[in-house]
Structure 1
């Protein structure tokens, strides 16, 4: 049975406050009139109106015994009834009253029609969903939409289980019917011990890719070839929706060999086939990723060799300069030509002779520029066979009309086995850079040829580049698929444009949209130019170089320091498990955890297990150390099992969202911010090297990944990603706002310098997000004029280029097609920004987003340099997220701070476990601080709103991290006091 807490089934979750009572449970005059017409006596009238108001809130009639007393009391007070009046009715009267309420509210009672609607909606949803709680939510939404009464939760649960079983059984049976005997035998053999490996083939499928070393690259290619040899998977799964395949694959990965072997054959084969299909997709992604990294490694080695050669040639260059100096000195002596020639020859002879010096000149000349491309062959040749094998195994195609690279690839594969030095120049090199063309082409007496070796490296380099930009795609991949297929067609977008433009206040035509942008840029620039003499923030010197004046640093206020010290003195000592237990009492956040099947957990003391698990993984102790410190309360295997089978990244997000929503109801955080702004920043976490996520980070040093946090201006963490070090962080800056389902919905986003990419500015603008990053080297960025003929009196030297408005107007449809596809949930912003973050001369989408981003970034830069308050706001917000990074890492004290997981999904979960622990502590601190501030105010301690605003919930001195940990769920904390009724003085009061 699914747990009611994990569904949207309406119920009395918590006691309503006075505002909710007035808004929801106050009967109208018409409702009171109906009650007096139908019911007789005060008790019956009170019962009727209580049923009506509860039905309006819940959608069904609850037992009178389950209605909170505060609701009954409120309705009784609204009717001016005596305090001793209680809602009572006979059973027959109760049925009559329920019928009248349904008729008055125009609600259809739950019967055959409503049951048919529920079954139909669940059956349709079950084609792509599998979690019973999600399916129950679908049925609830459909019944409410059609004005139907909701049945008992158990009725919906039984209905959903029957329909879900029917749908899944249909899929299982379909696959079973299409399986041939030899295919069934092959699938059964996956669960048997392998003759070629130490583990079963089932476990081999689940193995994760290692670091992109050459040996690991070949191992992954071998695994992909083996997966392809299993054959027939796509045929057998035809007709099964991709969402179901993903769910079945995830369920299979969470099981071990013995567990999956206990299922009936139809379900077992479906799980195995789904896992094979997803493993093939992921392996393609990993192969492309390794290919890109291998090519990047080859180029890195080439650059390093060029630098080494330059170092080696430095002494030769100094010697040649001294030779030239000697020759020039001899020339200055005004000797006749015959004597001078003889002395020059003597100088050259003493330095090794003409031929020796010429060789040195040629060696230096060949590496004088930045062209390291001729040096790549020696580093490429070891990878050659593996790269060719990879390209032949993948189906690569182009997303653009330009076929030059695909023609070159075909030409390269045709000549793969040739060992000649030169190939006929019979193809176009338009895909390559000028430097590559010079390196590849060779002129001989017989004509123009291609250097075979350099041509191979050139083609593979360009393949890697265009796979990153999305100019090429891999069929059957996920991360490197054709992004165009994920977008809505323009025919689907066209009906949405008008409403979207009205919502975003855009002009709904290409000409109007572009003119609106042009006017905005023009107006902003003119305003900044006009106010320049009175601004005083930006100073442009005679050479046209702008300089920003630094704001005066604000010293800490003594009152704030004293108040913070006083609060620390009153804060009770707490440990992390105690805090998690308190938050569980308040919110029941562990209800979001449970088996992947969606059923209730069949664990002994599940809440206790989930809290211990969250503590152990959130603090990076891991299952072994957590088990040791819990005095044998749980085993290492149990913790690992629960993490693997009961907790996903999505479930952690839901638990975190519950904490954020509760936090948002408290008064104290509203002193720190209004929730309309958030800041994003990344912090490095150490990883082991043997995985594809781990990369060396130049700025931080060492191997690891980046936890990219989005933190509200109220200090609470809203969302986090775990990304590789080599990825531009801003790619994920918008994803978090799209995935954030909490009550805090910011529309302004601050970031560090990583957030200043033009495509990110463009996409944020189209989505109605105000992107305002802190830009360190803003003077290195280009300011774009609205028009080449526009000249400004004071700030003209800032601008060095002009916007191509014609390009924006031409690709207006492309821009709106992308943003409407994102709004419809067809594609994530990061999926597109990963492509658009790399320069592409072919991709029209990149060019359009780059041009729009130039407009928006120029507008922001003009505002940034002219508004000190804006800069202070950005600095304050980014300081909060940086403070959160340090605060959260304080809890990540286990395992020497290293995430000891090579699975990207588990790495992501570790960061979310950490966020869950951090947010629980923040919530507990706010509850404690609220009580302390109220107590201090009642005792006569004076402090202003500004004093309170300077505080932070990132307090840790009272938190105990080490020692044996004891969990006590029987010790219930006091209820949350959200109201900060503090008599704080205003700043101007005496």
Structure 2
């Protein structure tokens, strides 16, 4: 915290005027900042004064955003850490105390022995003489009071931990962060003002008797007894340290749902700034972009018709051999869905891979990258970003080497020792001056588009409009602010969220925190992937879907197709009170969708969807406002209703359509195969991301994405060449399992040897060794 606070104070000391870049789009500012960050001071001085000052001001302004957001994130994590640490310490202490208690096991044994010896006699005759009536009463009382005792112990530990260690840092944050809110959450800010006024007082147990102490939701429940005490005169007083703890907790709750925002932040800014400023003036245009009717009645009618059609189709199709819907005791749920039967194993794919290895041998990974860049439009993209024509010669070679160094995680120093004639300092210069996340992302998009263009319909089938998305865990340095422990993966690090289309080509990647919403990542990738693919549906697992996710995807115009883990406990909603589905009754909710709420908030929902579509706000920022701590927000409630309707439509279709179940399962298996390939390519340093900066982490992931996309691209060309020549015949099962994501013909390890003149040959019309074919030549063939 002191380090980040000092950075923010240094940025503010420069004195940029408030609202200096108010009329500049954030995306433009980020581009200016990126340019200022990579240009050395000598290059910056060569520009005009106006340009130099503008670039540096953008750099300072964006750093102010980042540091402010980082401090708010530190606040949220610190408050959470205090509670989590107190809970762990108390649990550990109680477990240790239970181990030290003697006699309870013996008492239990004697009771069991006596009861089993005389099972027909009464408790008073058998049990009481052995253990004693008082001992039994005391054990029951101890068990009943253990919950409240545990909570009180946690609260006292929480208070001590805050007072002795964490208070100094949290109070320091109040000095540099300015919080704002609307009137509905004013008590929290009034409480913060009180905490700030007495921040330097170290000898106060209570706030002064004449001081106004605002109440807020954090002081209710179990904490009320600890937060308020009677002093020596019998007056009810607020305990200062407890009041501070609960005020920070209430502040964090409001920050999470953006009920309170931070001045100068980007992720935690005023939620009204997330919405498009020109929505009212361009309402018709925004509705058309989302393909939604202006009349809420037309939207509701379409949703109702689709609900009735899918629910009716499922009701009429029952009974199904793979599905049972009936009431069951306990928490088992009404739905019972049998697993999918196994598909026959493809037999000729192994032979296909052997033919490929026999023809081209084992291709070094650096040559795979070289071929993908030379055969696609990557050189033109690099040239356009550098302000020149197609890049070739030493600069292109150095870019390839640096891409390889980051994508394999081996590092520039290790790659510089290879056989290519480029020194380590030259590679570092290319990295600092030219290799940016925007450039690498553009290269990944170019390779993906080249793959789509090169595919033969007779081999790969029709172009896909569906992607599968999933996350994978990468270890990262603990000193990084974004490193978090992930309970599901069992380690500290970050998550990489991938969007992979059905034929194994990645179209989007993003670095997210372990605690970040995978629903937001799913929406971002489907909407803003940047490739030529038109995404109409998205497969995901349970973690990538939610009711709000279904509502957002309905508004944004693509289908969410998840594999839901607890499908047995899913409940379906009715379109109206009069709609009855006898075969589905055990899985139906009694109340229908609240269509009146959707109609009232339709325009606001479209406004939020437009913000995501136009990227005026991050999807995570929109979803942060719609959290459980903000249940009363009317737009949140309306979007929940849309999500429930869309969720019911999907579940009814999913249960009825066995082919859809198999399609979703197959798509998610493609994403899992992609995740498995990460460890093969990203092998350096044990697969852990070594960078502490978020932009360096993102760059590493994007370079990994480029390498895997290059493997898929080259394998696509190889498979097509072999099949065109009739060397291998594929059955229907082989065609179903055909994928370009395989590694038997790739050599990811070994010394790096780059020779731009040594090329791979592809068929009679393909590129021969030593030639330099134009991008797309194989695709045209």
Per the normalisation by structure 2, the TM-score is 0.85
Per the normalisation by structure 1, the TM-score is 0.68
Is the 8 Å Cα contact of residues 673 and 714 (structure 1) preserved in structure 2? no
Is the 8 Å Cα contact of residues 382 and 391 (structure 2) preserved in structure 1? no
Q: 1:934 & 1:384 partners in 2: Cα distance? A: 70
Q: Which aligned pairs between 1:487-636 and structure 2 lie closer than 5 A? A: 487-489=275-277, 491-496=280-285, 499-500=288-289, 503-504=291-292, 506=293, 508-534=294-320, 536-540=322-326, 542-543=328-329, 545-593=334-382, 598=387, 605-630=394-419, 633-636=421-424
What's 1:289 paired with?
A: 73
**Offset at residue 495 of structure 1 (A):** 3.0
What's 2:184 paired with?
A: 401
What's 1:304 paired with?
A: 88
Q: Which aligned pairs between 1:755-770 and structure 2 lie closer than 5 A? A: 755-770=544-559
Q: 1:441 & 1:806 partners in 2: Cα distance? A: 43
Q: 2:100 & 2:207 partners in 1: Cα distance? A: 32
Q: 1:806 & 1:896 partners in 2: Cα distance? A: 55
Q: Could you say what secondary structure the match of 1:746 adopts?
A: coil
> CA distance change for structure 1 residues 569 and 363 in 2, over 3 Å: closer, same or farther?
same
> CA distance change for structure 1 residues 322 and 229 in 2, over 3 Å: closer, same or farther?
farther
Whether 1:943 and 2:730 are equivalent positions in the alignment is yes
Is the 8 Å Cα contact of residues 325 and 586 (structure 2) preserved in structure 1? no
Of 144, 154, 162 in structure 2, the residue corresponding to residue 380 of structure 1 is 162
Q: Which has the higher contact order (CA 8 A, sep 6+)?
A: 2
What's 1:650 paired with?
A: 438
**Offset at residue 907 of structure 1 (A):** 1.0
Is the 8 Å Cα contact of residues 86 and 157 (structure 2) preserved in structure 1? yes
Whether 1:799 and 2:582 are equivalent positions in the alignment is no
Of 643, 650, 655 in structure 2, the residue corresponding to residue 865 of structure 1 is 655
Q: 1:774 & 1:586 partners in 2: Cα distance? A: 37
Of 473, 478, 484 in structure 2, the residue corresponding to residue 689 of structure 1 is 478
Of 670, 677, 680 in structure 2, the residue corresponding to residue 887 of structure 1 is 677
Q: Could you say what secondary structure the match of 2:285 adopts?
A: helix
Q: 2:495 & 2:124 partners in 1: Cα distance? A: 66
Q: Could you say what secondary structure the match of 1:705 adopts?
A: strand
Note the residue ranges of structure 1 that are not aligned, 5 or more in a row.
1-216, 982-990
Q: 2:503 & 2:37 partners in 1: Cα distance? A: 39
Whether 1:934 and 2:724 are equivalent positions in the alignment is yes
Q: Which aligned pairs between 1:726-741 and structure 2 lie closer than 5 A? A: 726-741=515-530
What's 2:118 paired with?
A: none
Q: Which aligned pairs between 1:264-413 and structure 2 lie closer than 5 A? A: 267-312=51-96, 314=98, 364=146, 366-368=148-150, 372-381=154-163, 382-398=165-181, 401-413=184-196
What's 1:968 paired with?
A: 755
Q: 2:310 & 2:104 partners in 1: Cα distance? A: 57
Whether 1:957 and 2:744 are equivalent positions in the alignment is yes
> CA distance change for structure 1 residues 835 and 535 in 2, over 3 Å: closer, same or farther?
farther
Q: 1:406 & 1:384 partners in 2: Cα distance? A: 18
> CA distance change for structure 1 residues 432 and 787 in 2, over 3 Å: closer, same or farther?
farther
Range with greater deviation from structure 2 (596-605 or 965-974) = 596-605
Q: Which aligned pairs between 1:471-490 and structure 2 lie closer than 5 A? A: 471-489=259-277
Is the 8 Å Cα contact of residues 219 and 243 (structure 2) preserved in structure 1? no
Q: 1:423 & 1:807 partners in 2: Cα distance? A: 47
Is the 8 Å Cα contact of residues 668 and 980 (structure 1) preserved in structure 2? no
**Offset at residue 347 of structure 1 (A):** 8.4
Between structure 1 and structure 2, the one with the greater Rg is: 1
Is the 8 Å Cα contact of residues 317 and 364 (structure 1) preserved in structure 2? no
Note the residue ranges of structure 2 that are not aligned, 5 or more in a row.
116-121, 761-765, 768-775
What's 1:921 paired with?
A: 711
Deviations, residues 344-375 of structure 1 (Å, cap 9, x unaligned): 99987xx8xx9x99997897363356994454
The number of aligned residues is 747
Is the 8 Å Cα contact of residues 709 and 721 (structure 1) preserved in structure 2? yes
Deviations, residues 844-891 of structure 1 (Å, cap 9, x unaligned): 333332332222122212222222211100000011111112224312
What's 1:219 paired with?
A: 3
Is the 8 Å Cα contact of residues 396 and 472 (structure 1) preserved in structure 2? yes
What's 2:119 paired with?
A: none
Q: Could you say what secondary structure the match of 2:562 adopts?
A: coil
What's 1:181 paired with?
A: none
Q: 1:637 & 1:646 partners in 2: Cα distance? A: 14
Deviations, residues 173-230 of structure 1 (Å, cap 9, x unaligned): xxxxxxxxxxxxxxxxxxxxxxxxxxxxxxxxxxxxxxxxxxxx12212222233233
Is the 8 Å Cα contact of residues 614 and 913 (structure 1) preserved in structure 2? yes
Q: 2:228 & 2:177 partners in 1: Cα distance? A: 28
